[in-house]
Structure 1
Amino acid sequence: MSIRPILTAPDARLRQVSKPVETVDGELRALMDDMLETMYDAPGIGLAAIQVGVPLRVIVMDLAGKDEEPEPRYFVNPEILDPSEDMNVYEEGCLSVPEYFDEVERPARCRVKYLDYDGNEQILEAEGLLATCIQHEMDHLEGVLFIDHLSRLKRERVLKKLKKEQRLAAAS
């Protein structure tokens, strides 16, 4: 396993729509293992493959707290089924939009159909933070960042700040 660099906005690769996975094999499991290690190192609770520059429909996440046993989850080719009409608001952050957090409204519950680490089809009933995290990571698979759910003014302010920080980092 290895830690991979995480792309940050405004990197254009984050806007790519990810491609479906053909088969869950050793190479894909190695990618998922790397993604999980990268996510833990960052630290974060979810990561989409596109965030490490791989445009495949793959997500990893772990919502366990710092003092809890890790509970890694792997989602290959996830699809949201039956999002609820009732909504929840969570303060979201993103490893690809570092050090920025804001409230985003999403469906409170959903079912998710996906392939697991071994390629077996699963259906998960998700609510609360799990539902929010899945929807956030699935947005990445469509080239959408959580800041795209904010007002244009807030989004432009965040992107301007990130561009400035990247210019300063490149100059030093």
Structure 2
Amino acid sequence: MPSNVPNAFAELLASATRSAVHLEMRDSYAVDYETGPFAEWRRGFRHDPADRASWWRPWLDLVQETVARGVVIRRARIVSEPVSEYTRFLYDGTFTNVAAGELVRWLPRRQASGIALPGNDFWLFDDKVVRWNHFTGDGQSAGGEVTTDSAAAKLCSEAFDAVWALAIPHDQYAIT
């Protein structure tokens, strides 16, 4: 990786000038089932969209600032149906991403069978820089990896575009 390519995620997003796309392909990510936001959600807590101060967080500031600079941020999630409990949790909170300016779509996994997908979730910045998100078998983060390999960037760009074309916008996707 060239030394002029930022490695920290916030730096990667700050360096984007046109686009940042994120493809998520797991049905669950490691969460604490006993404490934290997922546990609270399981106990029935839901964010009130009208009470923005209660759910706004630094990530959403970063997204809003990036979108305000003219960068289009798109997130696509490939999900098995019926969806996992964790996917329901993500779905219920996605309105916050949308409020910050992200465009979000959902693709039922059955519809993704004909798409050549990379082996890992990723972020792709300006169709040039890929940040792979690695996970362990139980969904724990195994760290990220940044590459400017043009073949990897092309694979990610084509995969994301194919998913995006088939995916359902968040406000139209019905959880099953």
**TM-score for the superposition, normalised by structure 1:** 0.26
**Quick one: higher RCO (CA 8 Å, sep 6+), 1 or 2?**
2
Q: TM-score, normalised by structure 2?
A: 0.25
